[in-house]
Structure 1
């Protein structure tokens, strides 16, 4: 991303446990949006060529597989209209909900949250990017455990411009406003910015070849790692 970093006021430092207490029930439902694979990750087109849809699916598979290993996650719900992605993500154990393609990213997330709460009894929900191929479950545990202290909270991306995670407690509207400089908009909406330092894998979304190189340095999941040698990096 080329957008500038917009500084925000510093919040007081609080410390949280990195994982739930022994025996604590996983409380969070993750909602992840995924475009039809033919349209996804357009900024990777030059580097990937015809491999782009397959790589977009690899990102999502690695992200969901890691998320489902998190001790704090009860379920992952993916909002997509892509039949191949839907089948493969469901095989991993994700719930899949049809998207409203013309309505956009934030409408898809709001729809996913509504389905999660009305049909699956979800309380606390977290919208998360589906392009976090280096995601580590223990880092997701840290973020969600910290977020549980606030009605709404968010985590900025590596560039401190966008958002990779937005959370809402049970009974609280998520009010997603992803896209572009969403860090500023989520902060302006009253969501608390989480400032955890040691969670690089959950901040590293992948939109460009530089992003992918950085994710590979962190260590991606197996689906992305298998395709990376075929990408012109």
Structure 2
């Protein structure tokens, strides 16, 4: 894409995040925070700015240490994305605004950068199962129109977004379950997630 890219990343409050990891033997809030920190740290070199939408002060404090701006917003995923989109669009009417999921702990900067370079207009990257969405991009100056949730890949395709599918396994690998986390570990976890995961893995 020729335009500058800004990302909005929604992060749930840690007491509500990653509920499908309950009972799996993990420190769920610590892992959820680590996922977000590693995801955003990997994304930062590939884009102009990242705006996190979160109502959790612990998340905001961690991200501030990375130099990342955060703002409180609605709790619902699509509502938070629309809110963050409006904040970023108001700053640059011609930019590309992207929505990135906060649970990509194996994300590699080079893979995100390659996906951004491959995008032509409004587009999305499906998750590894092909049914969900990990990244949604607006066209330069265009709407984001997020439809995250069950079957979001199909919803985004039906709304006219083009699928981005390339050799980017770390971008497609979001983590909801213990199995997902184990597979992400094979790809290579970010440092915060690796530190949070290692007591259990070891």
TM bin (shorter chain): over 0.9
Partner of 2:96: 124
Contact 2:125/2:134 (CA < 8 Å) preserved in 1? yes
- CA displacement, residues 44-97 of structure 1 (integer Å, 9 cap, x when unaligned): 111135x10011000000001111122xx0001100000000111121021101
Partner of 2:163: 193
Contact 2:104/2:173 (CA < 8 Å) preserved in 1? yes
Partner of 1:218: 187
Partner of 1:55: 31
- CA displacement, residues 161-189 of structure 1 (integer Å, 9 cap, x when unaligned): 10000000222110000011101100000
TM superposition shift of 1:121: 6.2
Distance 1:122 1:44, change over 3 A: farther
Partner of 1:154: 124
TM-score under structure 2 length normalisation: 0.95
Partner of 1:30: 7
For residue 175 of structure 2, give the secondary structure of its aligned residue in structure 1. coil
User: How far, CA to CA, are the matches of 1:114 and 1:219 in structure 2?
Assistant: 34
TM superposition shift of 1:227: 1.2
Partner of 2:20: 43
- RMSD over aligned CA atoms reads 1.7
Distance 1:90 1:232, change over 3 A: same
The answer as to 2:143 corresponding to 1:173 is: yes
User: How far, CA to CA, are the matches of 2:58 and 2:92 in structure 1?
Assistant: 23
The answer as to 2:113 corresponding to 1:141 is: yes
Distance 1:116 1:48, change over 3 A: farther
For residue 29 of structure 1, give the secondary structure of its aligned residue in structure 2. strand
Could you tell me which runs of 5 or more consecutive residues in structure 2 were left unpaired when the two chains were aligned. Answer: none
Contact 1:80/1:98 (CA < 8 Å) preserved in 2? yes
Q: 1:83 aligns with which of 37, 40, 57?
A: 57
- CA displacement, residues 178-209 of structure 1 (integer Å, 9 cap, x when unaligned): 0111011000000011121x100000000000
Could you tell me which runs of 5 or more consecutive residues in structure 1 were left unpaired when the two chains were aligned. Answer: 1-19
Q: Is the radius of gyration larger for structure 1 or structure 2?
A: 1
Residue correspondences, number? 202
Contact 2:94/2:141 (CA < 8 Å) preserved in 1? no
TM-score under structure 1 length normalisation: 0.82
